[in-house]
Amino acid sequence: MEWNADFYEDKHGFVADYGKDLLSHVPDNPGQAILDLGCGTGALTQELLAKSAHVVGADASPDMVRKARMLHPDIDFRVVDACRMPWSNRFDVVFSNAVFHWISDQKALLENIFRVLKPQGRLVCEFGAVRNIHRIQQAFQSSLSRQKRHHENPFYFPTVEEYRKLVEQAGLHPELVMDYDRPTPLKDGENGLRNWVRQFFASDLSPLPGAGRIRILEEMESALRDELWDGTQWVADYRRIRVIAVK
């Protein structure tokens, strides 16, 4: 999908905020080389500097990398696809928050991670688990189908068992693979859900005429209000999978 870095930075800063807990799995070692894979606008890349001076941020979106460079001019950011990384035996840690569910070729992704890690190197990542945003996606699909459209699920949300197997097949040794519910408040009060839908389902929404788009957002809000509106904010039904694995 097309990422709008300014909108992301403004409305979806919570993504990186939640990623901060994942940082505790990155060892403190000033000499180590760390790759922040799918770094977005670089908020966590910046935090990784507390673990080591050798940090590279990589993202497939030129707009995200442009914004990351602007916000953190001293960090080395590159436009790189996670499935075609240009390195071998280069990093002690590959860190990644909220990225892998966007990538359909998981085999290529994990093979690339194996290759760029040094021996004993560590993958530390978290992304969407099975049934992540299940209610939001159901409501979106029902509303789209009333306009004779189909929602192509762009996400990969695996089970723990499925992902453990993929990690092992890539040659990595899993130390931790777990999933958990992480209900996630969305910024901006009443507008939280529509901001989220506009960012993350942009490719389904953008072909629709303006009135059709508005109807979908309104229908979703009324379908989800009982479950996901807590009186002051929308709370998305996120579920996460966390993976720590060693080469």
Ligand X SMILES: C[S@@+](CC[C@H](N)C(=O)[O-])C[C@H]1O[C@@H](n2cnc3c(N)ncnc32)[C@H](O)[C@@H]1O
Q: Which is nearer to ligand X, 82 or 167 (CB)?
A: 82
At its nearest, how many Å lie between ligand X and the CB of residue 223?
24
Q: Which is nearer to ligand X, 79 or 214 (CB)?
A: 79
- Report the distance separating Cα 106 and Cα 110, nearest Å: 6
- Report the distance separating Cα 121 and Cα 13, nearest Å: 29
At its nearest, how many Å lie between ligand X and the CB of residue 120?
24
Q: Which is nearer to ligand X, 102 or 215 (CB)?
A: 102
Q: Which residues bind ligand X (CB under 6 A)?
A: 3, 15-16, 19, 38-40, 43-44, 59-61, 64, 81-83, 97-99, 102-103
At its nearest, how many Å lie between ligand X and the CB of residue 239?
15
At its nearest, how many Å lie between ligand X and the CB of residue 231?
27
Which of 88, 161, 83 is CA-nearest to residue 121?
Answer: 88
Q: Give the CB-nearest residue to ligand X.
A: 40
Q: Which is nearer to ligand X, 43 or 197 (CB)?
A: 43
8 A C-beta contact, residue 220 and residue 149 = no
Q: What is the DSSP letter of 186?
A: P
DSSP string, 214-246: HHHHHHHHHHHHHHHB-SSSBEE--EEEEEEEE
